[in-house]
Structure 1
Amino acid sequence: MTVIAATAIAVSVFVAFQVASELLDWELRNTAEDQLRADSHFLAMNAERAGLAQVHLPPYPGSGRLVRVILPDGSTRTPVGQPALPPVSEHAGRVAQGASADLMESKDSDEDGHRIYTLRAGDGAVQVALVADDSPINRFGLGMLLIGLFCVVGGAVVGRTVARTGLAPVDRLTAAAVRVANTQDLDADIPDEGGGEIRRLIQAINDMLAALRDSRRAQRLLAEDAAHELKTPLTSLRLNIELLVRLDRRGTLETALSAESRTRLLNDLGAQVAELSTLAAELTDLARGDVSDETTELLDLADVVVAAAAQAHSRVPNIEVALDVTSVWVSGRPAALQRAVLNLIDNAGKWSPADQPVQVRLRAEGASAVLEVDDAGPGIAAADVPRVFDRFYRADSDRASPGSGLGLSIVQRVVHAHGGRAAVARSARGGALLRVDLPTAAATARRATGEDTAAC
């Protein structure tokens, strides 16, 4: 900015100097020519009264104007001691012969650069000349040079001062960003200062830091909750394995435990391993957040629901699912949506009595695809409804049942990522009713078109 300011001022001073020099030269030339005309008319009047050959020509004073009289025969008279003038030009000779009344000439080609005015007088002509004097322009140029240098230096100083003052918030912002990067301290907000673009930049960085703080806090909570949830199955698994190892080393495995007890113990070990595997998969899914390699595509949500119901039945054959679905097209990630629907069906199947199927309904309602999954179980207590979608949250009545408490949390994350919402209510059969609203493909397209139009 300092260089730009100095360069701009230098160019401005140069252009101003060129324009001012031309104007000054034009003014001086007009003034000199007017003086030459006035002096020539005065000399011509004297020459006509006294005659060209007798008119008095005072001795040259040493400086100033030069005069010359052109006689009818072409000869000339000049004052005593006056420097020689350039020879009479052909055009000036024609003025002396009466071809024209006057002539202004500029002898820029000679050494002194004379400006000569020729005026018809009697049978000849008179000439008054001035030696071109560039000293005023030279002095003016020197003055403009000094002023230009002063302006350039002053402009550079002012530009640097303004630049440093204007960019001081950026320097502080850079220092704060470097400090955050070095200390990893995301709690240190950058002071909101400056104005315009600088303030918006600081606010954007503070928003980014807030988002990073929330992300770090969520990761820490996830790690803490995961450690807590993993502790119980790992402890149970470790105790059962230690019991088997201890009995095997003593050689009393078959005598200490009956065949039925061993079978039950091995089944427990298998169930605990499966629970850990499920928990690890769900933790991985939650830790990834919204990051996915799966692309968004246009799909029929009814196909996703049918596929999820078939998968749930293959995993737990005793789950009976009653489907009532209609074709509703949405824009989304098929695998993520199927995982969410599968979690809803698994959750409902865990509570639904054996003789009561899980009812799954899908319909279009306005600009939304509405999915409802309900069971005939005991339902969700009013105190548990606000936290039913929280990670690892399990109601008191649910703590003894298998599960990680992550299924509904995954459902909510997938639904939110698709621009929808999930809610819980009481089913008409007395159990839990989980409802998911997703925007249809037409609604998503209209919203995207509206956002593009607003951006334009």
Structure 2
Amino acid sequence: MTLRRRFALVAAAAVAVAIVLASGIVYVVVRGELRGRLDDELRAAGGTESNVRIALGDSPLGGGAARGGPDAPGAPGGPDQPRVARPDGPGAPGTLHQRVIVPKDALGLETAYVAVIGADGERLWPLPGSGAADLPVTAATRAVASGGRDAFFSDATVDGTAVRLYTTATARFPGFALQIARPLTEIDRTLDRLALVLVFVSAGGIALAAALGRVVARTALRPVGRLTSAVEHVGETGDLSRRIDVAAHRPGADEDEIGRLARSFNVMLSALEASVGRQRQLVADASHELRTPLTSLRTNIEVLALPATLPEEERRRLLADVVEQLDELAGLVGDLVELAREEEPEASVEDVRLDQLVAAAVERARRRAGAPLFAAELVPCLARGVPSRLDRAVTNLLDNAAKWSPPGAEVAVALELDEAERRAFLSVRDHGPGIAAEDLPHVFERFYRAPGARGMPGSGLGLAIVRQVAELHGGGASAAVAPGGGALLRLELPAEAACAEDLPAGAATPPRSAPPVASPPAPPAPAASGARDAGGGTSTRAG
């Protein structure tokens, strides 16, 4: 089942539950209102009990007309009123009996059932056998007649008809209970019509909700469909340049969840495209870097494989070339392995005297053949990190400066400490050609080499290693154009001031500054070899 269909079904189910609940509430409220009105009518009818009269029956002594006897005009049982006798007849001689008179429409209800019940439960109206409907007499009815209970409502069935029954005491004539009932036929008919209407309205509402849910789902999920198409397109064609512009189809939609998903997808595609681009650049750079030493290496080996007529001096030179080219290949492989190590430094983390580490790296750079003059200004400071990786980053910075500095030029190395921020800053400044403005944002990117540096030795990985080491240690790296020309590269690391206790036993604090020292003259380099540092670090001006 598609997400769109599930969305529509969920919307329809939610609306169905709401409609069913609302319909049930409406039905219950209307039913209560109708029955409440009927109860009010029955209660009002019970208040007209003055029209129900209790008269004295005939006595064996006569005198029925006296004191409002039955023969008196207008009296109960008189000529103008119906007379109802007790079922046992006029009674024994010398006794009185009661007669109940309920005139027609006496209670103002045309379709009402009326009964008068005595405290002993005897029905005084209507008479048994009169053909009138009998209302049920219960213990509660007798209790009302005797004054032991208040009036009450109840449901009953009379001759197969559901009725609403109201039982109340007659205030004027104690010892009697008046029962008034009306059929529920009209109310039930009204409720049946209401239930039918609610069923049709609910069904229509659910169907409409399902249709609207499908429309809303189609509209809301349209960007998801475009995302799906984009993913399928990328998977089928490998084209990573495709992007999803949600705002172009729905203004303001880039702020909702679908818009965020589209932006995340675009960011992912951009990162993937950049990664693939760097990989392709790596392949191109690696093939370029490997082609030259491998070709030279093969040529030298083929020459060495010739008969022994090769002069000894030439043989030694070729062997030196082979060794240097192997070192260059090993350095390139080492750079690639170093960049592949993305994990945080943990196992060999220790306190490192940055000033001593930089001083040692500068001393190695001075001894390297063909190195320029190095001037160091170092402040004692202590950092927490992996010594080998920090040394690799510092060495790469120095090698990069040495590669681009002209003969006899000075490379200024400065290590400063911001005690308030607890940060150390290593600056390496050369007097080379500098860095073009368009290359500054990319000099620390992996596999990046400026167009002018593609003919130089190196793979464009040295400065990328510097940035990676800095970031893994909680720092950073930056590049700028130095005042007066040249490049200024900076390495930033968390650090603090070094105390005397931080020095190893028997070691002296390195000098805060060291004068420039010229390197020994470099011997002639083989034509087929490329310049690389002894540690295998790759150097490049922009990469």
**Per the shorter chain, which TM-score range?**
0.7 to 0.9
- Please give the alpha-carbon distance, in whole angstroms, between the structure 2 residues aligned to 1:28 and 1:372: 92
Q: If you compute each CA radius of gyration, which structure gives the higher value, 1 or 2? A: 2
1:309-336 Cα distance to aligned partner (Å, 9 max, x none): 4665787799997654223345665443
Once the two structures are overlaid, the 10-residue window that deviates more, 165-174 or 307-316, is: 307-316
Once the two structures are overlaid, the 10-residue window that deviates more, 308-317 or 31-40, is: 308-317
Classify the secondary structure of the residue corresponding to 1:12: helix
Classify the secondary structure of the residue corresponding to 1:116: strand
Classify the secondary structure of the residue corresponding to 1:128: strand
Relative to structure 1, is the Cα distance of residues 71 and 191 closer, same or farther in structure 2, using a 3 angstrom cutoff?
closer
1:11-58 Cα distance to aligned partner (Å, 9 max, x none): 323332333333223322232233324444556415366357373655
Aligned counterpart in structure 2 of residue 33 of structure 1, from 11, 24, 39? 39
- Please give the alpha-carbon distance, in whole angstroms, between the structure 1 residues aligned to 2:459 and 2:52: 124
Contact 2:168 2:177 in 1 (8 A): yes
- Please give the alpha-carbon distance, in whole angstroms, between the structure 2 residues aligned to 1:84 and 1:26: 27
Once the two structures are overlaid, the 10-residue window that deviates more, 383-392 or 9-18, is: 383-392
Question: Aligned-residue CA RMSD in angstroms?
Answer: 4.2
Relative to structure 1, is the Cα distance of residues 262 and 151 closer, same or farther in structure 2, using a 3 angstrom cutoff?
same
Aligned counterpart in structure 1 of residue 125 of structure 2, from 72, 77, 99? 77
Q: What amino acid is aligned across from residue 134 of structure 2 in structure 1?
A: A
Within a 5 Å distance, the mapping from 1:38-437 to structure 2 comes to 38-42=44-48, 44-45=50-51, 47=53, 50=76, 53=99, 55=101, 64-70=111-117, 74-78=122-126, 80-87=130-137, 89-93=138-142, 96=145, 99=147, 103-108=151-156, 112=162, 114-120=164-170, 122=173, 124=176, 126-133=178-185, 134-193=188-247, 194=250, 195=253, 196-245=256-305, 247-248=306-307, 253=308, 256-285=309-338, 288=340, 291-292=342-343, 294-295=345-346, 299-309=352-362, 323-330=376-383, 334-347=387-400, 360-365=413-418, 367=421, 368-373=423-428, 379-381=431-433, 389=443, 391=448, 403-404=457-458, 406=460, 409-410=463-464, 413-414=467-468, 417=471, 418-423=475-480, 425=482, 434-437=488-491
Contact 1:114 1:132 in 2 (8 A): yes
- Please give the alpha-carbon distance, in whole angstroms, between the structure 1 residues aligned to 2:390 and 2:240: 34
- Please give the alpha-carbon distance, in whole angstroms, between the structure 1 residues aligned to 2:191 and 2:163: 15
Q: How far did residue 421 of structure 1 move?
A: 1.0
Q: Does 1:13 align with 2:19?
A: yes
Sequence identity percentage: 32
Relative to structure 1, is the Cα distance of residues 298 and 3 closer, same or farther in structure 2, using a 3 angstrom cutoff?
farther
- Please give the alpha-carbon distance, in whole angstroms, between the structure 2 residues aligned to 1:109 and 1:313: 117
Classify the secondary structure of the residue corresponding to 1:50: coil
Classify the secondary structure of the residue corresponding to 1:242: helix
- Please give the alpha-carbon distance, in whole angstroms, between the structure 1 residues aligned to 2:206 and 2:353: 71
Relative to structure 1, is the Cα distance of residues 354 and 175 closer, same or farther in structure 2, using a 3 angstrom cutoff?
closer
Q: How far did residue 370 of structure 1 move?
A: 2.8
- Please give the alpha-carbon distance, in whole angstroms, between the structure 1 residues aligned to 2:39 and 2:334: 101
Once the two structures are overlaid, the 10-residue window that deviates more, 382-391 or 168-177, is: 382-391
1:173-221 Cα distance to aligned partner (Å, 9 max, x none): 1221232133221011123344122122212211221222222222222
TM-score between the two structures when normalised by the length of structure 1:
0.74
**How many aligned positions are there?**
418
Q: How far did residue 258 of structure 1 move?
A: 1.9
- Please give the alpha-carbon distance, in whole angstroms, between the structure 2 residues aligned to 1:161 and 1:350: 66
Unaligned runs of 5+ in 1: 443-456
Contact 2:383 2:495 in 1 (8 A): yes
1:406-441 Cα distance to aligned partner (Å, 9 max, x none): 4653465447743231345379xxx96744141545
TM-score between the two structures when normalised by the length of structure 2:
0.64
- Please give the alpha-carbon distance, in whole angstroms, between the structure 2 residues aligned to 1:384 and 1:128: 107
Classify the secondary structure of the residue corresponding to 1:85: coil
Contact 2:406 2:432 in 1 (8 A): no
Classify the secondary structure of the residue corresponding to 2:458: coil
- Please give the alpha-carbon distance, in whole angstroms, between the structure 2 residues aligned to 1:327 and 1:387: 33
1:143-200 Cα distance to aligned partner (Å, 9 max, x none): 3223222222222222222122211211221221232133221011123344122122
- Please give the alpha-carbon distance, in whole angstroms, between the structure 2 residues aligned to 1:322 and 1:136: 105
Once the two structures are overlaid, the 10-residue window that deviates more, 363-372 or 338-347, is: 363-372
Q: How far did residue 229 of structure 1 move?
A: 2.6
Unaligned runs of 5+ in 2: 1-6, 55-74, 78-83, 85-98, 497-543
- The structure, 1 or 2, with the larger RCO (C-alpha pairs under 8 Å, 6+ apart) is 2
